A and B are shown apart, each in its own frame.
Chain A
């Protein structure tokens, strides 16, 4: 299985901050990398797919970048509704696997 490692596991930030989350895969992914946002008691919501493509309806303050084994999710200006846990997920090979999550909370 491809192991997905996210860092940091948590980050404290304020509204308006720029937040960057990193995801590292144990092998190259051919850009088959997605990012999700999950709030407590809710299902995940896809933000980014194909490493850098913004899902329809997702605010443009979210962006994704990277290739090979190293990928980044950036929130350019954190909004109150962005406090949540973020997960990366690879679909380059079976089984699909997820990162351990990064919790963004209030500083």
Chain B
């Protein structure tokens, strides 16, 4: 059974860089026909897909965030990470890491980590 767990700071100041890590167990980030994804959900709002990395390391990003986002695999630790530059209050949300199938649906999710951006 694949399990994912997010880790990272819960509180940030505007203009800082958000760094989150997802630790994967029960599966390898570097094998299989899957994508390793980040999704966020502001309080009371719909889910927003941030982007994903294939097991090869190739990436796709939401155009609305592409200039600020980097997703990368850390195969030696069986982890993948999200970096979001120049955060503002609009980036306040619960951030989920997830495993996306090649058909585009998301079968495995982390529990989510709340990130608040405030001065």
A residues lining the B interface (CB < 8 Å):
1, 32, 34, 36, 42-46, 49-50, 55, 87, 89-92, 94-101
Contact = CB atoms under 8 A, between A and B. Distances in A.
Contact of A43 (B46, B48, B105, B112): B112
Contacts of A45: 109
A42 B103 CA distance: 23
Contacts, number: 56
Contact of A55 (B61, B62, B107): B107
B49 A44 contact: no
9 contacts: A34-B104, A43-B98, A43-B112, A44-B47, A44-B106, A87-B47, A94-B63, A97-B49, A98-B47
Contacts of A1: 63
Contacts of B76: none
Nearest to B111: A43
Given A98-B47, A98-B49, A91 B111 contact: no
Contact size range, B: 20 to 34
Interface of B: 46-49, 60-64, 96, 98, 101, 103-107, 109-112
Contact of B62 (A87, A95, A100): A95
A55 B110 CA distance: 18
Contacts of B96: 43
A49 B106 CA distance: 9
A98 B60 CA distance: 17
Contact of B105 (A42, A91, A99, A100): A91
B46 A91 contact: no
Q: Which of A1, A36, A45, A46 has the most CB of B within 10 A?
A: A46
A46 B106 contact: yes
A-B residue pairs, 7 tightest by C-beta:
A91-B104, A43-B109, A34-B105, A49-B105, A95-B62, A96-B49, A98-B47
**Residue picked from A55, A90, A97, most chain B C-beta under 10 Å:** A97
A95 B63 contact: yes
B10 to A, nearest CB: 15
A3 B14 CA distance: 29
Nearest to A100: B46
